[in-house]
Amino acid sequence: MKKPKLTLILCIISFIGTCIAYFYLPDIIPIHWGINGEVDNYGPKYMAIILSAIPLAIYLLMNTLPKIDPKKENYKKHSKAYNIFSFYTILFLIIINWITIIASFGVKIDVGLLIPILVGILFIIIGNYMPQFRHNYFIGIKTPWTLTDETNWKKTHFYGGYVFMILGIIIILMGIISNPLIVYIGLAVSAILFISLFVYSYLLYKNKYASKK
């Protein structure tokens, strides 16, 4: 079964399951957890329906983007990477929805550990396939220099693949080592790595521009 079809099936099953669970949910459910893994915000139970509809909305969006992107031909060249990116992003959102539902029934879930691991794995997967993304206007690392230069795009995404995988490992470690100091250090390093993507892209542009003088 192709991933787009599997993704749609999972979205529909999750939405139907949430609609059934809705009638048994308490009136107020947890909708957000803090950095310490404790619930810090609650909302009405209809939020569960909204959360379950988001993966389906993302699925529809991801299937629409290739049709309206001026670079639509490039989606055929990176279809495998695009489908994997879509599948695991939507799967992550579905899991988040069901974590909320399960927690609403009073089941103790170590969100402070589970969410960083899931996010980290998602980043590692995206990083692994990021170098395959071809030039487009919706998916990938968007800087003024990648959008105007395909060579800059390719090199930045090759570098970005390593950055995302490193970020994924850092995020996982932040969840496993539940220490506030480690979390703040991890956030600082993550911010530096993220900024480095833009710096790297700019330096590629600057060096190319300088070589033409």
Q: Which two tokens stand for residue 161?
A: 């693949």
pLDDT at site 1: 40
Indicate whether 213 and 114 sit together in one domain: yes
pLDDT at site 56: 95
Indicate whether 101 and 2 sit together in one domain: yes
Indicate whether 209 and 127 sit together in one domain: yes
* Residue 46: pLDDT over 70: yes
Indicate whether 43 and 104 sit together in one domain: yes
Indicate whether 33 and 136 sit together in one domain: no
Q: For the segment 78-87, what is each residue's pLDDT rounded down to a tens digit?
A: 999 999 999 9
Q: How far is residue 211 CA from its own chain's centroid?
A: 37
pLDDT at site 181: 84
Q: For the segment 148-183, what is each residue's pLDDT rounded down to a tens digit?
A: 999 999 999 999 999 999 999 999 999 898 778 888
pLDDT band at 210 (very low <50, low <70, confident <90, very high): low
Indicate whether 147 and 101 sit together in one domain: no
Distances in Å between the Cα of 107 and the Cα atoms of 30, 52, 67, 118 are: 12, 19, 42, 19
Indicate whether 9 and 83 sit together in one domain: yes
What whole-number percentage of the chain has pLDDT above 90?
A: 77
Query: CA nearest 95: which of 3, 5, 8, 10?
Result: 10
CB neighbours (10 Å) of residue 171? 23
pTM of the model: 0.90
For residue 210, the enclosing domain spans 110-213
Indicate whether 1 and 100 sit together in one domain: yes
Indicate whether 125 and 94 sit together in one domain: no
Indicate whether 92 and 114 sit together in one domain: no
